[in-house]
Amino acid sequence: MNLDPGVSGWARLRRYADYREAWAAVCAAPAFEEAPFPVRIQSQADLRAAAWRLLAWEDPARGDAQSPFWIGAPTLEGALRPGAPALAALAAEPGAAVEGLRLLDGALVLKISWGAAVVRIRLRDRGRFPPEGAIEVMHEFGLRMPHTAATLYDFWTVAGEPVPSRGRAPGRRTASC
């Protein structure tokens, strides 16, 4: 099965009967840690989701899930940065959202969505994400260069991805009510 680590891959995966059955066999209410946005705690049962290239099980019926936490998806390295604009405040912009997954090894993987575009960041910091927490992400230009994300655009710029236009990924349409 060739699934891209994005929205279209998730749209296909959630329709597979085998995935739906596997998820149903282990589905349990996930645990969350206290944070300014949802941070799910990876469980031992989530490790079996690796067979589907996922870091954790995702409910196939959950309509608001644009893209799960994929194994092997491009992921920036980051760290908490005191004094910069808080990630929770940046995520409050229209069309933006932040979710986290606390891995069993203690690392935190963040998924920052803006419309249909997604940037993933793995934080070196092992503690809980503070309400005023800001992110410093790393450029990979031969030398590791830190960059403090002061706007949502910064995450896409540092990732080398096309910057979403008004919260939408280029070339993709988002549903509107």
Q: Which letter does DSSP use for residue 2 in this model?
A: -
24 confidence band (pLDDT: 50, 70, 90): very high
Torsion of CA 93, 61, 34, 32, to 10 degrees: -160
CA distances from residue 40 to 51, 59, 100, 172 in whole angstroms, order as listed: 20, 13, 6, 28
pTM (two decimals): 0.82
pLDDT mean over 24-28: 86
Given the structure tokens 């469980």, which residue do they identify?
A: 43
Strands (E), 28-174: 31-33, 39-41, 75-80, 96-102, 108-114, 117-123, 135-141, 143-148
Residue scoring higher pLDDT (84 or 72): 72
β-pair type (75-80, 143-148): unpaired
List the structure tokens of 93. 């912009």
Confidence grade of residue 78 (pLDDT, cut at 50, 70, 90): confident
**Does residue 109 surpass a pLDDT of 60?**
yes
Is pLDDT at 171 greater than 70 in this prediction? no
